[in-house]
Amino acid sequence: MTRLLLLADVHANLPALDAVLASLDERVDLVLSAGDQVGLGPWPEEVLDRLDALGATCVLGNHDAECISGRSIVQNPQGIALTWTREVLPPERRSALASLPERQDGEGWTLVHGSLRGPLWEFLLDRPTAGACFDLFEGRLGVHGHTHLQGGFILKDGAISPMEPRKEPIPLLPGARYLVNPGSVGAPRDGDPRAGYAVVDLERGWLRFGRVPYAVEEAVRALRRAGLPPALGERLREGR
């Protein structure tokens, strides 16, 4: 399986996930979801159903973990959404979330939520953290999320350089290794409200970052119907 659809931080936003899937103009062999499938959004069960139908390989994110932990949650807007998610998910869905590993390894790739060093909570944002993470997996591609920001890092000839997202496909350099954050499907944080994702072809050697508009107002209305804080909808509108 060489062509991979990379998702992260769907956060129970079904219109955003469906918009990403509808936008694809290439076949993919496998879907990787880098954690936080639920939390924040109003469609937790529907998103999990959709990922199941895709046969997606998923890892546990910090929001997923909080939804099934049983611990008390601070009741800010994010915490209110986590508590609501915990209450509306059926027991079998909570059990399925609880069974997700923090790390998955496949042919040429490794998948986590935060970082290879701190799979649930660490933000991978700088060269020193990237350097520590490159030491912790062996394949060509490490996939992570958590920051809600598209981009990544390249390790080539012992040097680490940042990789900025761009519209055109990015060639994968011979002998280089990559840490890739596809951005957030359901809750972008870079000022662009469009859903983020990436596609990588390990055999042909290219990576493409994607952004696609989705029905943000539908998500805002669904949040309101669920009784969730208005601030969550405003953040979707602003991509913050």
pLDDT at 72: 63
d(CA 87, CA 177): 41
Count of structural domains within the chain? 1
42 CA to centre of own chain: 17
Paired tokens of 178:
């990559």
Tally of CB atoms within 10 A around 171 = 11
CB neighbours of 56 closer than 8 A, spacing ≥ 6?
7, 31, 32, 33
pLDDT at 73: 73
pLDDT at 25: 83
Q: What's the CATH code of the domain at 147?
A: 3.60.21.10
- Are the CB atoms for 151 and 181 separated by under 8 Å? yes
CB neighbours of 167 closer than 8 A, spacing ≥ 6?
209
Question: Which residues span the domain enclosing 199?
Answer: 3-238
Paired tokens of 33:
């979801």
d(CA 135, CA 144): 15
Burial class from Cβ neighbours inside 10 Å (0-12, 13-18, 19+) for residue 95 reads exposed
Intervals of the chain under pLDDT 70: 1, 70, 72
pLDDT at 167: 85
Paired tokens of 194:
């469009």
Rg over alpha carbons for the chain, rounded to the nearest Å, is 17
- Cα-Cα end-to-end distance for the chain: 34
Collapsed DSSP state (helix, strand, coil) of residue 122? coil
Tally of CB atoms within 10 A around 27 = 8
pLDDT at 1: 61
